[in-house]
Structure 1
Amino acid sequence: MKKEITLFLLLLSFISFAQKGPKIEFKAKDNTIDYGKVYKDQDNGVRVFEFTNTGDAPLIVTNVQSTCGCTVPSKPKEPIMPGKSDKIEVKYNMATGPIRKSITVETNAVNVEGGKVHLKIKGEVLERVENNVLEKKKVGPMQ
């Protein structure tokens, strides 16, 4: 019985130890922002991931990387104090076609494995096709 109590107290101390420190919580559902269907000429490609430090120590964002050069993220320069919020801005280059990109955020947060959080953007960029009513249309292969 004494060993069980000791083991329980040891386990409890590990659990309470793991709860201390900075914690990052993003507002976006599933850490994903959906651009939806957007037109290249009407959207600047910038989206914002908002997050809060829900822990009890300063949160430091050490690095933010995207899977390719077409997506450029920015990170906060200063530590985020407990209870405070900040943002990671992501700019997609609005290349026509589907958007499926990942951004890795590296932090000192204790509530995510290795301090890393994976963010995603998705959607589709469309290009507006304008029909010129004055332009002569081709009718067949002989024309």
Structure 2
Amino acid sequence: MKTNLMNMAVVAVLLALGTSCDQKSDQDAKIQALEDKIAQLETNTAVATPVNVQAAQVADPSTLGSFQFPATEFDFGTIKEGEVIEHLFKFTNNGQAPLVISNITASCGCTSPDWTKTPVKPGEEGFVKVVFNSAAKSGAQAPTVSIQANTNPNVTRLQMKGTVIGKAAGAAAPVGPVKR
């Protein structure tokens, strides 16, 4: 019986040693695989870009238009409240590609823009018309429009400025826009 017990103990020890050797060689293989992966990442010069990052690239000048305005600001002087001022900002495309205005936004509801909707070829002219309605306005005014286009920078601002004198009681409002 002692012999059987002793034999079973020896078998158990051998199994334990055999199992730990198998576990150790399995761990060694995993460690080696991880070290290989780390070495591969360290030698790889390409950096993985996360999927939620927008790529920023230097703009190719041959794909951009370029505004050249004689003036980006128009002073309409002093007007009476209720007058409507209209100004046409003309520009030339000095870029290497057709200039495309994608959108124009006004700084307030008192200002409304209109613009050349078709691409403006290099060397050709286009326009941005800005209409300012001074109804319910008084004092110094400086409405702006922001132009989004295929230019660098991609936003260009135009400004009108002037002073609106408050309405006198009983005064008649002018009819139609006033061109200056």
TM-score range normalised by the length of the shorter chain? 0.5 to 0.7
- Could you say which residue in structure 1 is the equivalent of 2:54? none
The answer (yes or no) to whether the contact 2:77–2:161 under 8 Å persists in 1 is yes
The answer (yes or no) to whether the contact 1:63–1:75 under 8 Å persists in 2 is no
The answer to whether 1:105 aligns with 2:147 is: yes
- Determine which structure has the larger helix proportion and give its number: 2
Higher CA-based Rg:
2
Amino acid paired to 1:44: V
Change (3 A) 1:128 1:69: closer
* Fraction of identical pairs, as percent: 28
Query: Separation in 2 of the partners of 1:52 and 1:75?
Result: 13
Aligned length: 110
Moved over 3 A (4+): 127-130
Once the two structures are TM-superposed, the CA of residue 36 in structure 1 deviates from its matched residue by 1.2
- Could you say which residue in structure 2 is the equivalent of 1:67? 107
Q: Which runs of 5+ in 2 are unaligned?
A: 1-57, 170-180
- The TM-score, its normalising length taken from structure 1, stands at 0.67
Query: Separation in 1 of the partners of 2:114 and 2:94?
Result: 21
Query: Separation in 2 of the partners of 1:128 and 1:68?
Result: 21
Q: What root-mean-square deviation, in Å, do the aligned CA atoms of Structure 1 and Structure 2 show? A: 2.4
Query: Separation in 2 of the partners of 1:26 and 1:106?
Result: 15
Query: Separation in 2 of the partners of 1:61 and 1:18?
Result: 18
102, 123, 130: which one aligns with 2:162: 123
Once the two structures are TM-superposed, the CA of residue 65 in structure 1 deviates from its matched residue by 0.4
Partner SS state of residue 45, structure 1: strand
The answer (yes or no) to whether the contact 2:74–2:161 under 8 Å persists in 1 is yes
Once the two structures are TM-superposed, the CA of residue 40 in structure 1 deviates from its matched residue by 4.1
Query: Separation in 2 of the partners of 1:18 and 1:62?
Result: 18
Query: Separation in 2 of the partners of 1:37 and 1:89?
Result: 20
Q: Identify the structure with bigger relative contact order (alpha carbons < 8 Å, sequence gap 6+).
A: 1
- Could you say which residue in structure 2 is the equivalent of 1:27? 70
Query: Separation in 1 of the partners of 2:167 and 2:106?
Result: 27
Q: Which runs of 5+ in 1 are unaligned?
A: 1-14, 131-143
Once the two structures are TM-superposed, the CA of residue 66 in structure 1 deviates from its matched residue by 0.8
- The TM-score, its normalising length taken from structure 2, stands at 0.54
Query: Separation in 2 of the partners of 1:62 and 1:76?
Result: 10
The answer to whether 1:87 aligns with 2:131 is: no
Alpha-carbon displacement from aligned partner over 1:75-102 (angstroms, at most 9, x marks no partner): 2111111111111011111233221122
1:3-14 aligned at under 5 Å gives the runs: none
- Determine which structure has the larger strand proportion and give its number: 1
